[in-house]
Structure 1
């Protein structure tokens, strides 16, 4: 599997190892960009920089997760579990100095995002895929 197919295609299957490799990269990039923003190196553009990086990583994140759902013999409709995660990120305060009490909607979205994130962690990150071929393709080979 080429890197282009791995990160941009919504077809096929991948195993847990490739899923975790992507997630390690994703969260290291996000931590780095948040760390740089916290140092105020982007000035007033910190929020914009985080948004741009997050947006650039969205398609590869969805593509990798789609292939992992396929390995579990589940359709791309399960990608809808990302909606509360994205909404939660968009509703999060940008500056650490903001101490505004969250609204009921923000709290609800955060709780739903935690539930969806935990479900995806278990399904995609911990559980084995379907053994043998399934409707999404052959069983993935180890990296």
Structure 2
């Protein structure tokens, strides 16, 4: 599958292998551009200066506020992410809009201040359930929904043969041709 069709078209089907490859590549490029922009806008990161490149790459941005740079790049990379999600859902003969909704809800996580979950946990530890429970519940809902999306897109096989969204990406039109 070519670059433009994979990342910018909502038509057709995408097999699991291609979804994994494109998704990992998109994640790495998005994360790298976010971290470089964070470093340029916010100054040197202590993890980067100490040579902790793994922590710099996968860690949170400095500061306790919302991760505005991460949100900005999530919006820049939103179209390719949605294209991959929808084409993978099409391979399973589904429209996929519930998976898009999950992705958009997870993207709102960048608006949550970095220490919000920690503060909610401290409130729950102090028996102040009304202060901490809503944030923790939202976090658990996002985790469960993201795991559902991850399993559906990354592990469940597509429908064999052609379906309403196009030809079978693993081979010709009939699954028997591939296995014969």
Q: TM-score range by the shorter chain?
A: 0.7 to 0.9
Contact 1:11–1:67 (CA under 8 A) maintained in structure 2: yes
| Larger Rg, first or second structure (1 or 2) | 2
Q: Does 1:116 align with 2:137?
A: no
Q: Does 1:81 align with 2:116?
A: no
Question: Which structure would you say has the larger RCO, counting Cα contacts within 8 Å and 6 or more residues apart?
Answer: 1
For structure 2, the residue ranges without an aligned partner over 5 or more in a row are 44-60, 62-66, 121-131, 172-180
The corresponding residue for 2:19 is 19
Q: Secondary structure at the match of 1:22?
A: helix
Q: How do residues 50-89 of structure 1 correspond to structure 2 at under 5 angstroms?
A: 50-78=70-98, 79-89=100-110
- Number of paired residues? 136
Query: TM (normalized to structure 2)?
Result: 0.65
Deviation (angstroms), 1:37: 5.7
Change (3 A) 1:122 1:17: same
- Taking the aligned partners of 2:165 and 2:20, their CA distance within structure 1 comes to 20
Q: Does 1:127 align with 2:156?
A: yes
- Taking the aligned partners of 1:51 and 1:130, their CA distance within structure 2 comes to 34
The corresponding residue for 2:40 is 41
Query: TM (normalized to structure 1)?
Result: 0.80
For structure 1, the residue ranges without an aligned partner over 5 or more in a row are none
- Taking the aligned partners of 2:24 and 2:108, their CA distance within structure 1 comes to 22
Contact 1:9–1:63 (CA under 8 A) maintained in structure 2: yes
- Taking the aligned partners of 2:148 and 2:72, their CA distance within structure 1 comes to 27
Q: Secondary structure at the match of 1:41?
A: helix
Deviation (angstroms), 1:11: 1.3
